[in-house]
Structure 1
């Protein structure tokens, strides 16, 4: 998939129209259209701004494979779920993970 199609796919995934994305980036809708059609290439400011709006990395935005190794498919599943969460859900999840860690520490201390 070429970059323009990938960017259009991501825009739609996150629920943005070309006009809405253009307004958020202080660009014209025509610039978004040109990039998505491959008539022009996005600059780094476009990629950074778009990734920031979607709260993802530029690598994720352009479809680059993960640059770190995930040890297990379970870890990958966890990361995929977290990427789809809003900030409130991430905070709740972090609290839950912290409780699990604390419980594990208490159990380890009991076994000593």
Structure 2
């Protein structure tokens, strides 16, 4: 699943509207919508803020998966 879809999924799970999420992050609603539409990607420091506010790891938010061999 791509970043934009994960972002929307986690926002919905937290019970935030797009407007509320934008306010929590200190950005415009339009700016936030661009992340969910996939027309804009966050820089690293903003990605940390997103993950913190949504209470998920950055790996989960960006869809990073580890091969099973790497975890052993």
Q: TM-score, normalised by structure 1?
A: 0.54
Higher relative contact order (CA 8 A, sep 6+): 2
1:27, distance to aligned residue in structure 2 (A): 0.4
Aligned residues of 2:51 and 2:57 also touching (Cα < 8 A) = yes
1:10 corresponds in structure 2 to 10
1:28, distance to aligned residue in structure 2 (A): 0.6
1:2, distance to aligned residue in structure 2 (A): 2.1
1:34, distance to aligned residue in structure 2 (A): 0.7
Task: Describe the superposition over 1:39-72 as per-residue Cα deviations: whole angstroms up to 9, x where unpaired.
Answer: 1112222211111112221112222225873x8x
Aligned residues of 1:59 and 1:66 also touching (Cα < 8 A) = no
2:65 corresponds in structure 1 to 65
1:43 corresponds in structure 2 to 43
1:19 corresponds in structure 2 to 19
- Computing the radius of gyration from Cα coordinates, the structure with the larger value is 1
Q: Distance in 1 between matches of 2:65 and 2:53?
A: 20
CA RMSD of aligned residues (A): 2.0
Q: Distance in 2 between matches of 1:54 and 1:66?
A: 21
Q: Extract unaligned runs of 5+ from structure 1.
A: 72-112
